Structure 1
Amino acid sequence: MLAERAYAKINLSLDVFGSRPDGYHEVDMVLQTIDLSDLVWIEKTSRRGLEVGASVSHVPQDDRNLAWTAAAAFFRHTGIEASVRIWIDKQIPVAAGLAGGSADAAATLRGLNRLYETGLSLDELAEIGAGIGSDVPFCVAGGCALATGRGERLQRVDHGLRAWVVLVHPPVHVSTAEVYAAMRPEEYQNRAISEEVVTALRSGDVEAVNQLVSNGLTPATLRLYPEVAEVWKRAAHVARFPVHMSGSGPTLFCLVPAQSTGQRLYNAFRGFAKEVYLSRFV
């Protein structure tokens, strides 16, 4: 048996340029790994097939689970017969805009590669992951990256910023497909700000990054889910930092320069929200 960490991500930018012939949308994003994580346990069994379980009951335990899908794709790619059990200790909120399912899938690919000693490179694992979900290739390696296309084309971004992240998860499940479908034509961007975000990251200036963070899905999410708008209003009232949304939401976050500042903000958010997390860049 072995374990792999599955790290969440946040979007530091998310520009949407319109729909594609394949049904996805053309995007330009800066993605950043944070240390909020699930733990994925994988062990060989004496029985044929895949078994998937999780520490929370509302996570699917069949082919609707991306970890299951990732394992099936790994065994198809390698030709190895599947005889494994996967257990996910969930800490990342589900359907939260933090790529929790994609992170579990990526951790499953890395873990199976270790368990069966198949020697696949991260690039090869990312290629397998691209057929599972748009965020999986990024989650395979993590860190910081510029993602384009439908999110599967990655360019690594090296920077030295060590920011802290305070997250608040409103009690609602958001459908990414519904959010994209609800976008209005005037909400599509005609230019990406990713290069400016990357420059700010490399400068090490949290305030500069904070002023640039943007998310083209925010208007659609707030229209569809007024609960998110209400939590955003409360967060903005107590925070002296800008409030941002990750992915299609509903998770909101603030970037802060120090752990002590993050702890104070965490305590303030706990005054009105149950699910609050203090994390940092990985």
Structure 2
Amino acid sequence: MNQIELKALAKINLGLDVLGRRENGYHDVRMVMQSIYLYDEVKIEKTEAPGITLASNLSFLPTGEGNIAYKAAKLLMEEFHIPAGVRITLNKHIPVAAGLAGGSSNAAAVLFGMNRMFRLGLKQEELMARGVRLGADVPYCIMRGTVLAEGIGEELSVLPAMPKCTVLIAKPPVSVSTKVVYEALDAKEIAEHPDIDGIIDGLEKHSLKQVAACMGNVLEDVTIPMHPVIEQIKQEMKDAGALNAMMSGSGPTVFGLFESRAAAREAQRRIREKSLTRQVYVTSIHSVRRDQDAN
């Protein structure tokens, strides 16, 4: 195998709760994660010349040590003393710095792809153990599907599959610093915690309406006052028929869950018409078969 092409899927948080801050600065979280069918295309090719080269369709992305996909390749090449080089090409469609784990998903795809390409024989759990050294979301991006994440996000438990539905993704043209958001959260008292158990119960009952009704993200209380456009987008989605709409991760991306694809298209039209953002995509839930190993 001299090259491999992979889809690096985005994720949304159906629920995100923060339980506290550790002395090392990391936060204990409880989240329900879900992969969606919005993805970057990741191509990995063997090269005769040693080392790593990385290219992207986005000119502002770092192409060296500052890119987490580059770090993923370097981690495996150093550990397994891989003599050949690799060329990584990222064709990105997931909005950047958007709360959708695009970078983490790219890193997960590189770990998965190089494991296959160089026949390293690592099982999924072994890839995830390496992934957490790169970032807290990377292990989830290797696992994918509907998952409860605890600890700093690296303690993962498979949940019943999310009921099928249409998902609308809208990323407003604002930048959000995850570090700033968590620092602001630390400075205030959390008045209300999301109903994570209610989401899990809804998944067990295969009830899309219960999952939607119980959705919550504790970081909205911090990010929305900084960027009121997030609330405007949420309201447009709900007015167009979303069962619920919420910010993903630390933002600024908003997603809505719809029973009707036509209603999602109408919300997409309204959001564009009101110039809230041009980055708005209709997609769907991505389910994962659990009977396949990483290698």
Regarding TM over 0.5, the answer is: yes
Residue 278 of structure 2 is aligned to residue 274 of structure 1: yes
Give, as a single letter, the amino acid of the residue that structure 1 aligns with 2:111: L
Task: State the secondary structure of the residue aligned to 2:223.
Answer: helix
How far apart, CA to CA, are the structure 1 residues paired with 2:101 and 2:206? 25
- Per the alignment, do residues 64 and 187 of structure 1 end up closer, same or farther by CA in structure 2, a change over 3 Å counting? same
| Unpaired stretches in structure 1, ≥5 consecutive residues | none
Give, as a single letter, the amino acid of the residue that structure 1 aligns with 2:146: C
Residue 143 of structure 2 is aligned to residue 141 of structure 1: yes
User: Do the aligned residues in 1 keep the contact of 2:194 with 2:215 (CA within 8 Å)?
Assistant: no
Give, as a single letter, the amino acid of the residue that structure 2 aligns with 1:106: A
Matches within 5 A, 1:221-260: 221-260=223-262
- Shift in Å at residue 126 of structure 1? 0.6
- Shift in Å at residue 219 of structure 1? 1.1
- Shift in Å at residue 223 of structure 1? 2.6
Aligned to 2:177: 175
Aligned to 1:264: 266
| Higher mean C-alpha deviation, range 143-152 or range 54-63 | 54-63
Aligned to 1:89: 91
How far apart, CA to CA, are the structure 2 residues paired with 1:193 and 1:242? 14
- Shift in Å at residue 84 of structure 1? 0.5
- TM-score normalised by structure 1 residue count: 0.93
Aligned to 1:29: 31
Aligned to 2:154: 152
Aligned to 2:127: 125
Query: Which of 172, 196, 199 is 1:197 aligned to?
Result: 199
- Shift in Å at residue 229 of structure 1? 4.0
- Shift in Å at residue 56 of structure 1? 1.1
Q: Once the two structures are superposed, what CA deviation does each residue of 1:112-164 show, in whole Å capped at 9, x if it has no partner?
A: 11111111111111110000001000000201110001001100112251121
Aligned to 2:57: 55
Matches within 5 A, 1:32-111: 32-81=34-83, 83-111=85-113
Aligned to 2:289: none
- Shift in Å at residue 188 of structure 1? 6.9
How far apart, CA to CA, are the structure 1 residues paired with 2:235 and 2:217? 17
Aligned length, in residue pairs: 281
How far apart, CA to CA, are the structure 2 residues paired with 1:241 and 1:260? 14
Q: Once the two structures are superposed, what CA deviation does each residue of 1:220-253 show, in whole Å capped at 9, x if it has no partner?
A: 1123334434444554555554220000000001
| Higher mean C-alpha deviation, range 148-157 or range 53-62 | 53-62
Give, as a single letter, the amino acid of the residue that structure 1 aligns with 2:188: P
Aligned to 2:293: none
User: Do the aligned residues in 1 keep the contact of 2:241 with 2:258 (CA within 8 Å)?
Assistant: no
How far apart, CA to CA, are the structure 2 residues paired with 1:10 and 1:164? 13
How far apart, CA to CA, are the structure 1 residues paired with 2:147 and 2:229? 30
| Higher mean C-alpha deviation, range 103-112 or range 240-249 | 240-249
| Unpaired stretches in structure 2, ≥5 consecutive residues | 287-295
Aligned to 1:220: 222
- TM-score normalised by structure 2 residue count: 0.89
How far apart, CA to CA, are the structure 2 residues paired with 1:126 and 1:171? 32
Task: State the secondary structure of the residue aligned to 1:181.
Answer: helix
Give, as a single letter, the amino acid of the residue that structure 2 aligns with 1:21: E
User: Do the aligned residues in 1 keep the contact of 2:11 with 2:34 (CA within 8 Å)?
Assistant: yes
Give, as a single letter, the amino acid of the residue that structure 2 aligns with 1:122: Q
- Shift in Å at residue 60 of structure 1? 1.3
- Shift in Å at residue 167 of structure 1? 1.0
Once the two structures are aligned, what percentage of the paired residues are identical? 37
Task: State the secondary structure of the residue aligned to 1:9.
Answer: strand
